[in-house]
Amino acid sequence: MIDAHNHLQDPRFAGRQAELIETMKSVGITACVVNGTCEEDWPAVAKLADAFPDFVKPAFGLHPWKVENRSETWLENLRDHLAQYPHASIGECGLDRWMKNPNLEDQHQVFREHLALGVELQRPVTIHCLKAWGPLLEELRSAPALPKFLLHSFAGSWEVARECLKLGAYFSFSGYFLHPRKEKVREVFKRLPPDRILIETDAPDMASPNPEFPLEELNHPANLRQIAKELVTLTELNLERFAANTTELGL
């Protein structure tokens, strides 16, 4: 099992990463993609990649919530991190109209830079999208070229999924979608082609109901096992499939 998306560098996990990784390994998780969200946390992601080279796959990107606070040299900084970690992917980045006072113009511009970088460096891009499916589709369709990309914690409709599939999208399922009220999302995952589905925790956020590994108010990344089991039941796919898709995507 590979956790396609988490934030082990999150300050809420500070000092506990070695222990968390130990538990993850003990339940059969072999690797995870640790997503940076802003220039301030990229060094922490890099540090985890250095400390756990066989387990942590780094990703560097600017989350739409953090776009506002980027430096003038953010793109250069991002390029530096990607050059230093040739196996790193790009993310998390994207569009968000759910947040308070979104600066959409900046979000779009920053998102485009990530997509272009993905094409230029041939790295997959992990995309966050909340309440911005129309604008996201427009961006993807109007891009001069597209990198391989993952729509993480995908909660869009089947109609959106179908359009994104045509553009080559991969989709990851998180534990949050196991809540009874998320039936619609589960229905979408049942219809997706088997070779486009990944699993993720988004730890420390997006907790599942009744987690196998409760961790105060946080989502423990070892809960991936529970998420995987549920999704296997739901889609009738096997675990190897999700891991193979992660590798195929290049994460």
Residues that bind Zn ion in the complex, under the rule CB under 5 A: 202
- If the CB atoms of residues 9 and 226 are measured against Zn ion, the closer one turns out to be 9
From the CB of 201, what's the least distance to Zn ion, in Å?
A: 9
- If the CB atoms of residues 128 and 196 are measured against Zn ion, the closer one turns out to be 128
From the CB of 236, what's the least distance to Zn ion, in Å?
A: 27
**What is the secondary structure of 86-120 as a DSSP string?**
TT-EEEEEEEESSSSS--HHHHHHHHHHHHHHHHH
- If the CB atoms of residues 9 and 237 are measured against Zn ion, the closer one turns out to be 9
78 CB neighbour count, 10 Å cutoff: 23
Q: State the sign of the Cα–Cα–Cα–Cα dihedral 71, 75, 77, 81.
A: positive
- If the CB atoms of residues 56 and 237 are measured against Zn ion, the closer one turns out to be 56
Two tokens, residue 67: 């776009």
Contacts of 237 (CB under 8 A, 6+ apart): 194, 197, 231
The pairing of beta strand 218-219 with beta strand 214-215:
antiparallel
From the CB of 238, what's the least distance to Zn ion, in Å?
A: 26
64 burial (CB, 10 Å; 0-12 / 13-18 / 19+) is buried
* Residue type (1 letter), 72: E
From the CB of 144, what's the least distance to Zn ion, in Å?
A: 27
Two tokens, residue 173: 């399922």
From the CB of 200, what's the least distance to Zn ion, in Å?
A: 8
Instruction: Give the residue nearest to Zn ion (CB).
Output: 202
- If the CB atoms of residues 110 and 237 are measured against Zn ion, the closer one turns out to be 110
Q: Please give the distance of CA 122 from its chain centroid, rounded to a whole number.
A: 17
From the CB of 35, what's the least distance to Zn ion, in Å?
A: 5
Two tokens, residue 124: 């997959």
- If the CB atoms of residues 7 and 148 are measured against Zn ion, the closer one turns out to be 7
